[in-house]
Amino acid sequence: MALKNLKKALFSESDEKENIEDSYYVMSESEALKEADKSGSKMILIEPRANSESQQIADHLKNRNSVVVNLKRVTSAQAKRIIDFLSGTVYAIGGELQKIGNGIYLCTPNNVNIQGKITEDGKEENKTDEEVEW
């Protein structure tokens, strides 16, 4: 009790709040990753530059993390292979794969529910696989 009163005398509540916020922002990257691990699943953002990065994305999904994949840095042939691989991965873990933009996909494991759907002004409705832009 005496410690609490001493703390109040030395620091106002706003000073205390600033100290807590300051300690949050000076956290190292490794400490931040440890905190994220404690809090549960994460949202991972990945811009693959090669087909070989598909396995890394699949590993994140297997660890029950959601992944947003931006395929704008790969060729359309590489993008198609990546999406094919991720489709199989998502199917195997019971998750979902949803296109959220031009060349951007959301991959989620089965512990994440996706509500709603994003459409692109009906442009994609009549296109074949060869015409679709990744």
* Inside any domain, residue 103: yes
Q: Which residues have a Cβ under 8 Å from the Cβ of 71 and sit 6 or more positions away?
A: 48, 78, 79, 82, 83, 103, 104, 105, 134
CA gap 71, 101 in Å, rounded:
10
User: Does residue 34 have a pLDDT over 50?
Assistant: yes
* Inside any domain, residue 14: no
pTM of the predicted protein model: 0.62
Q: Are strands 43-46 and 104-108 parallel, antiparallel or unpaired?
A: unpaired
User: Does residue 112 have a pLDDT over 60?
Assistant: yes
* Inside any domain, residue 126: no
* Inside any domain, residue 81: yes
Neighbours of 69 (CB within 10 A): 25
pLDDT of residue 116: 85
pLDDT of residue 51: 92
pLDDT of residue 113: 87
Structural domain boundaries, residue 87: 41-114
CA gap 134, 85 in Å, rounded:
15
Vertex 60, ends 41 and 107: CA angle to 5°? 85
Total number of domains constituting the chain: 1
Per-residue pLDDT tens digits for 82-111? 999 999 999 999 999 999 999 999 999 999
